[in-house]
Amino acid sequence: MSKILIRQRRSLIGQPQKMRRVVRSLGLRRIRHSVVKKDTNCIRGMINKATHLLDYELLRDEDARGTS
């Protein structure tokens, strides 16, 4: 299964509590913090809710092996 790299690029100050929970549930804590997750429909839905706060990129299988 492919992986996806998610990076927080904007602050959560002034965002609704629901949006903060979505970003926090992705495992992001601060600006420029990044995490690698499995590319599932659930994760894609959370990214779509907060696209104005996040950057993401798909990782190929050989790229994803080195990062867990």
pLDDT per residue as tens digits for the range 12-65: 999 999 999 999 999 999 999 999 999 999 999 999 999 999 999 999 876 555
25 occurs within a structural domain:
yes
Mean pLDDT of all residues belonging to the chain: 91
29 occurs within a structural domain:
yes
pTM, to two decimals? 0.84
- Domain with 51 in it: 3-62
Helix segments in the chain, DSSP class H: 17-25, 41-49, 61-65
67 occurs within a structural domain:
no
At 61 the pLDDT is 73
pLDDT band at 1; cut points 50, 70, 90: confident
At 65 the pLDDT is 58
> How far is residue 14's CA from residue 65's CA, in Å, rounded to a whole number?
37
68 occurs within a structural domain:
no
Q: Could you give the number of structural domains in the chain? A: 1
40 occurs within a structural domain:
yes
- Domain containing residue 13: CATH number: 3.30.1390.20
